[in-house]
Amino acid sequence: MQDIVIIGAGPVGLACGIQAAKHDLNAVIIEKGTIVNSLVGYPTHMEFFSTAELLEIGGHPFPTLNTKPTRPEALQYYRRVAAREALNLQLYERVQRVDGADEEFTVITNKGEYPCRKVIVATGFFDIPNALGVPGENLPKVTHYYREPYAYAKQHVAVIGAKNSAAKAALECYHFGAKVSLIHRGDALSEKIKYWIKPDLENRIKEGSITTRFNTRVTAIEPDHILLEGPEGPSTLKNDFVIAMTGYRPDFAFLGTLGIDLKDDASRTPVHHAETFETNRQGLYLAGTVCGGLHTSRWFIENGRFHAAQIIRHIKTGSIEPLQLHKRYWKTAE
């Protein structure tokens, strides 16, 4: 029997595995994809908004040639940490349910069964996009996962959203020769766009290189155009590709399968203890971004990695200690 089964091999899941080993608890990490699978889906040339030390886990230094580490550097870093720590990883294996009760759980996957004492859910939020909910959203030209600009040269590209991800996608596509329209239901660019990104975007908008449609929503997507509803009524916009940077959400259905209740609040926050992260189902814990529900900017790698020590301490000793986040340093929320 395992002491702990950890669901999810992202940075926070790996941090939980490292902490478990430090406290002489055996743990297996089950991941439906590969190591740090969400990072694999990030934009190819993405630069983190944080410095390297804020992304470190297990006390392992994160070497980087840049002020802010890149996606390839992060992929290598977390893979090497997992190897150095000899973490027990079961990849491309999907958890279907968790049977039993505290101290006598059985985690059922598509490949087998794992008896264990405790379960930690560190599944993140990157798998399920916030849908537009309009006709045509499933057309091949629509994506919720921007990777790189090269396919969009000389194409009419609609970028939906006005935060960091949308800003970066719009700028990269423009610089590679796309005709970019930025569409946002709000009346302005987000104030949370990073200071080194926003001036470039504002200048491109000011000179007319990137067009904007504020206070506007997409009502339908057709093969060669999109339908919009804005301040002046309905309109049509020529379009070849749609990049919908509308955010993502945790897999609430999966949390329900595990027996985790949700609060009746705007964020649909999963019920959990503020210091131990134990859920309403005794012996089952949450870690990382999934703790915030729809408020996906509440927790991220920089502060979510500290959940590991809180959870493992509670599992090992039963003690509850305040999570003193004011003493930690990380990037500001998105």
Tell whether 54 is covered by a domain.
yes
Domain match, 118 and 142 both: no
d(CA 47, CA 196): 12
Neighbours of 82 (CB within 10 A): 22
- Tokens matching residue 173: 């596509």
Whether residues 75 and 135 share a domain: the answer is: no
The verdict on 233 and 254 lying in the same domain is: no
- In a domain? residue 334: no
Length of the chain: 334
The type of residue at 327 is K
Q: Do 102 and 211 have their domain in common?
A: no
122 and 8 inside one domain: yes
Structure tokens at 59: 């006390």
At 206, list the tokens. 């000011």
Residue 319 neighbours by CB under 8 Å, 6+ apart: 313
- Per the domain annotation, does 283 fall within a domain? yes
Compute the distance between CA of residue 117 and CA of residue 2 in angstroms, rounded to an integer: 7
How many separate domains does the chain show?
A: 2
**Looking at the domain assignment, is residue 223 inside a domain?**
yes
Of 234, 212, 107, the C-alpha closest to 160 is: 212
Which residues are CB-contacts of 165 (< 8 A; sequence separation ≥ 6)?
146, 245
Domain final position from 244, 279, 309: 244
For residues 177 and 183, what is the distance between their CA atoms, to the nearest angstrom? 18
The pairing of beta strand 217-221 with beta strand 104-109: unpaired
Choosing from 184, 217, 244, the residue where a domain stops is 244
pLDDT in tens, the chain (334 residues): 999 999 999 999 999 999 999 999 999 999 999 999 999 999 998 999 889 999 999 999 999 988 899 999 999 999 999 999 999 999 999 999 999 999 999 999 999 999 999 999 999 998 899 999 999 999 999 999 999 999 999 999 999 999 999 999 999 999 999 999 999 999 999 998 999 999 999 999 999 999 999 999 999 999 999 999 999 999 999 999 999 999 999 999 999 999 999 999 998 999 999 999 999 999 999 999 999 988 877 777 888 888 999 999 999 999 888 876 645 544 444 4
Write down the pTM of the prediction. 0.92
Please identify, among 196, 225, 244, the residue that sits at the C-terminal boundary of a domain.
244
Q: Give the domain extent around 230.
A: 131-244
DSSP letter string, 54-120: GG--TT-----SSSS-BHHHHHHHHHHHHHHTT-EEEES--EEEEEEETTEEEEEESS-EEEEEEEE
CATH of the domain at 174: 3.50.50.60
CA angle 114, 272, 92 (to 5 degrees): 35
- Residues 85 and 74: their CA atoms lie apart, in Å, by 16
